[in-house]
């Protein structure tokens, strides 16, 4: 499957030409788009002017997003179409932020994910896919996530079809800056807009991640097995007011669309999402990260915050605010704090404000509790990090089709704490949903947890130093 792309640098139209091999003699069926990626249901407002060359004939089923090509004896197979990237004039930035399926194509800037223009083939007959640009504006900055060192758009990029599900990213524009960093021998790329309506200097705002955070989290996991990594943050250009930020994980990268000044919340989002490289991607309990989100999101959250502290991106004030205001206070005041774990998946998308955030807070609070218990039981010799590293090694020792289980989690923790106690904790706090009563919980001397009106509040002892507590 060979994609040839074209853009004039001014319009909102991407021209696509696909040449492919056909394993089926009579027809080939493609599926365009995924409404689950960003919530856009009317896919055929994005793809248009679908054409084939006679004797081939194309038929479109909009309801199922199916594009069927009847070959009628043709030996060579080619389809052309256009991707419409313009946004509604009434709410352009809101749509760009919330409908992640929409590409951003406007004068001088293009950001594009393969899912926004490529066609999924139903028979899986093409193991390799290539991308190249035939038409593009000269003297614009170009970045791609297949081979970031390749900065010439006309050069063909080749990838395996199976990798496309993990997304491929293209950026092109005169308002784009790309800076390369060396992070423990791994090439890292910062891809940003240069100017925006909020006065951001995004390269400057992101530099601490490349200078300290990414080093911290690689050391945390003892893992530098990466070909490269990139962080792409592009500010929306037509905003009249601040509307937040949104993003999605990629293979070897994270992409954020930003609609405000890059601040403390965006530091957290960037750190949390890039931390998912391990918990949530490489280490999952269950068939997917949704099975036990108390681990996939909550334990990832804890790893995020302590690495933000280790890298000094978060100081004491930010650290305590996150635990006290974003976790303890909101969780213990929640009307659904004690619902069973099974109820989360049912209500996750329909009531995200309550059920969606629940596993983050529940898991993060338990990870803090568990870390303290391991430190106390070992007299400071071991921490939760040691348990997570053991779990990571267990994951790597398993076959690809084997999954980590809750029992694996408990067995990993049993090297540091009583196994029966761990079983009871998981059943009580993570599955049944009972909040941890910190009234009777002992923590390491560096922390103080006081309970007022049933809400725990964390503080640091006078001699406490976060960089010493969280050190690796």
| Residues 202, 266 contacting (CB under 8 angstroms) | no
Mean pLDDT of 20-47: 79
Whether residue 318 is found in the same domain as residue 261: no
Whether residue 255 is found in the same domain as residue 122: no
Give the sheet arrangement for strand 119-121, strand by strand. 57-61, 66-70, 27-32, 119-121
Q: Has residue 145 got a pLDDT over 60?
A: yes
| Residues 274, 254 contacting (CB under 8 angstroms) | yes
Range of the domain at 380: 293-469
- CB under 8 A, 24+ apart: contacts of 159-166: 159/128, 159/129, 159/130, 159/131, 160/127, 160/128, 160/129, 161/1, 161/121, 161/124, 161/126, 161/127, 161/128, 161/129, 162/127, 163/251, 164/114, 164/115, 164/118, 164/120, 164/129, 166/250, 166/251
Domain end marker among 125, 154, 171:
171
Whether residue 457 is found in the same domain as residue 313: yes
277 domain residue, yes or no:
no
276 domain residue, yes or no:
no
Whether residue 203 is found in the same domain as residue 158: no
Output the CA–CA distances (angstroms, integers) from residue 141 to 61, 150, 192, 194, 397, in the order listed: 38, 12, 11, 11, 42
284 domain residue, yes or no:
no
Query: Could you tell me what percent of the chain has a pLDDT over 90?
Result: 72
Query: 224 Cβ partners below 8 Å, 6+ apart?
Result: 184, 185, 186, 218
Whether residue 447 is found in the same domain as residue 399: yes
Give the per-residue pLDDT at 100: 58
450 domain residue, yes or no:
yes
Domain end marker among 271, 303, 322:
271
Q: For the ranges 8-12, 206-210, 349-353, which has the lowest average pLDDT?
A: 349-353
- Name the nearest CA neighbour of 207 among 195, 215, 197: 215
Whether residue 179 is found in the same domain as residue 118: no
Give the per-residue pLDDT at 101: 58
> For the stretch 196-222, what's the b/e string if a residue is b when 16 or more beta carbons lie within 10 angstroms of its beta carbon?
bbbebebbebbeebbebbbbbbbbbbe
Q: How many domains does the chain have?
A: 3
Whether residue 310 is found in the same domain as residue 347: yes
Give the per-residue pLDDT at 434: 97
285 domain residue, yes or no:
no
| Residues 207, 267 contacting (CB under 8 angstroms) | no
Whether residue 144 is found in the same domain as residue 201: no
pLDDT in tens, 103-134: 778 888 898 889 889 999 888 766 899 999 99
CATH of the domain at 157: 2.60.40.3650
365 domain residue, yes or no:
yes
Whether residue 100 is found in the same domain as residue 9: yes
pLDDT in tens, 427-440: 999 999 999 999 98
CATH of the domain at 248: 3.30.2010
Whether residue 90 is found in the same domain as residue 239: no
pTM attached to this predicted model: 0.90
Cα–Cα distance, 157 to 298 (Å, whole number): 37
∠ Cα 114 115 118 (to 5°):
65
Whether residue 161 is found in the same domain as residue 180: no
183 domain residue, yes or no:
yes
Q: Has residue 239 got a pLDDT over 70?
A: no
Domain end marker among 171, 187, 217:
171
Which has more pLDDT, 370 or 281? 370
Whether residue 266 is found in the same domain as residue 398: no
């Amino acid at each position: 499957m060979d994609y040839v792309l074209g853009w004039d640098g001014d319009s909102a139209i991407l021209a696509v030409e696909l040449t492919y091999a056909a394993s089926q003699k009579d027809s080939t069926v493609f599926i365009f788009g995924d409404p689950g990626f960003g919530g856009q249901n009317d896919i055929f407002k994005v793809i248009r002017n679908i054409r084939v060359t006679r004797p081939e004939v194309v038929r479109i089923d909009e309801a199922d997003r199916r594009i069927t090509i009847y070959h009628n004896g043709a030996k060579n197979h080619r389809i052309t179409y256009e991707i419409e990237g313009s946004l509604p004039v009434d709410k352009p930035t809101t749509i760009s932020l919330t409908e992640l399926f929409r590409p951003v194509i406007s004068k001088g800037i293009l950001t594009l994910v393969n899912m926004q223009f490529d066609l999924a083939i139903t028979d899986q007959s093409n193991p390799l896919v290539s991308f190249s640009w035939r038409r593009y504006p000269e003297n614009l900055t170009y970045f791609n996530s297949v081979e970031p060192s390749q900065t010439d758009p006309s050069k063909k990029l080749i990838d395996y079809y199976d990798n496309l599900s993990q997304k491929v990213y293209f950026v092109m524009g005169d308002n784009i800056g790309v800076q390369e960093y060396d992070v423990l021998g791994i090439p890292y790329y910062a891809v940003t807009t240069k100017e925006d309506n909020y006065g951001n200097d995004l390269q400057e705002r992101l530099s601490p991640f490349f200078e300290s955070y990414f080093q911290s989290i690689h050391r945390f996991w003892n893992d530098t097995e990466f070909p490269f990594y990139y962080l792409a943050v592009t500010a929306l250009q037509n905003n009249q007011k601040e509307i937040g930020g949104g993003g999605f994980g990629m293979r070897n990268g994270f992409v954020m669309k930003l609609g405000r000044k890059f601040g403390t919340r965006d530091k957290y989002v960037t750190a949390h999402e890039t931390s998912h490289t391990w918990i949530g991607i490489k280490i999952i309990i269950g068939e997917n990260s949704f099975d036990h989100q108390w681990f996939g999101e909550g334990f990832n959250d804890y790893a995020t915050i302590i690495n933000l502290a280790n890298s000094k991106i978060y100081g004491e004030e930010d650290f305590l605010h996150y635990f006290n205001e974003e976790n303890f206070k909101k969780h213990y005041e929640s009307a659904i704090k004690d619902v069973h774990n099974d109820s989360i998946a049912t209500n996750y998308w329909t009531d995200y404000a309550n059920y969606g955030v629940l596993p983050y807070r529940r898991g993060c609070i338990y990870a803090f509790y568990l870390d303290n218990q391991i430190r106390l039981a070992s007299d400071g010799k071991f921490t939760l990090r040691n348990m997570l590293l053991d779990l990571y090694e267990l994951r790597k020792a398993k076959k690809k089709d084997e999954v980590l289980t809750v029992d694996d989690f408990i067995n990993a923790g049993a090297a540091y704490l009583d196994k029966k106690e761990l079983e009871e904790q998981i059943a009580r706090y993570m599955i049944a949903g009972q909040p941890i009563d910190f009234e009777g919980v002992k923590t390491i001397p560096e922390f103080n947890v006081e309970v007022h009106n049933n809400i725990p509040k964390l503080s640091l002892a006078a001699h406490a130093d976060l960089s010493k507590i969280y050190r690796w």
